[in-house]
Amino acid sequence: MTDNSKFIDGSSRDVGARNNRASRYARNPYDRTAPRLQFGDRGELTPRTITQAGLTGEERKRAEEMLEVQAAYLKIYDCLDFPNDPDGHVVDMSGVHMTQPKVAIAWTLALLGFRPTGRPYIKKRLFEAPGVPAGAYTYVDVRAPDDAAEELRPEDRSSDPHLPPDTRRLAALREETGNQYLGTLWSVTPTVTEEWVDRDAEGVRARTPPGAPPADDGGELQR
């Protein structure tokens, strides 16, 4: 008779390749499910994924072609957070609600064969300021410096629509302060002035109605 006292309901047995989770087999030979595929950090197809999937022939060739499509898709997608129109207006598409539109745009362009192979005329420049999302950037001419403060000229004005937004912000700060220096914008040494006041006398005056006689030295109203 089998002694069932050693078995706890719901637990696996201690021995056997079928039930032992620490089996010497790299993969459970009784498991007939397809192996889990490993994708890239952003969920993209990789050569390892293709190998794990066991693709051959035309299917493998097609999957390898999609590696190039996906690489182009990711590059296009990463350029769509803050695109500019021809007039220099920045369109904020960095919000979560814009993820699906950016995915659709980037994937469609990649499938149509668009590839970033031409000469770039603009580049990303980080835009850090109060109220601006972390990691935000603006597009500027590739010849422009990486720091907007180095680009700011004495004649630049915040009302100039042709300036990048980070440069316009610095121009606006300069116009407010009237100073070319744009480092620490607020630095004041506090001055403390002490003024001693007789609280009892102040309290009497506060309680004295208009037209009443002044209080005596004792601090009480004269009747």
Residues 106 and 156 in one domain: no
152 occurs within a structural domain? yes
142 occurs within a structural domain? yes
The angle formed by the CA atoms of residues 36, 38 and 40, to the nearest 5 degrees, is 155
Calculate the average pLDDT of the chain. 76
User: Given this model, what pLDDT does residue 198 score?
Assistant: 63
User: Given this model, what pLDDT does residue 20 score?
Assistant: 45
- 80-108 burial by CB neighbour count: b if 16+ within 10 A, else e? bbbeeeeeeebeeeeeeeeeeebeebbbe
70 occurs within a structural domain? yes
32 occurs within a structural domain? no
169 occurs within a structural domain? yes
Name residue 90's beta-bridge partners: 84
User: Given this model, what pLDDT does residue 36 score?
Assistant: 77
**pLDDT more than 70, % of the chain:** 64
**Range(s) of the domain holding residue 53:** 37-116
183 occurs within a structural domain? no
How many domains does one find in the chain?
2
Residues 96 and 140 in one domain: no
Residues 105 and 160 in one domain: no
- What is the rounded CA–CA span in Å between residue 217 and residue 215? 7
Sequence-distant (≥ 6) Cβ neighbours of residue 135 within 8 angstroms: 126
Three-class SS state of 40: coil
Whether the CB-CB separation of 60 and 47 falls below 8 Å is answered with no
28 occurs within a structural domain? no
Residues of the chain with pLDDT under 50: 6-26, 180-188, 204, 219-223
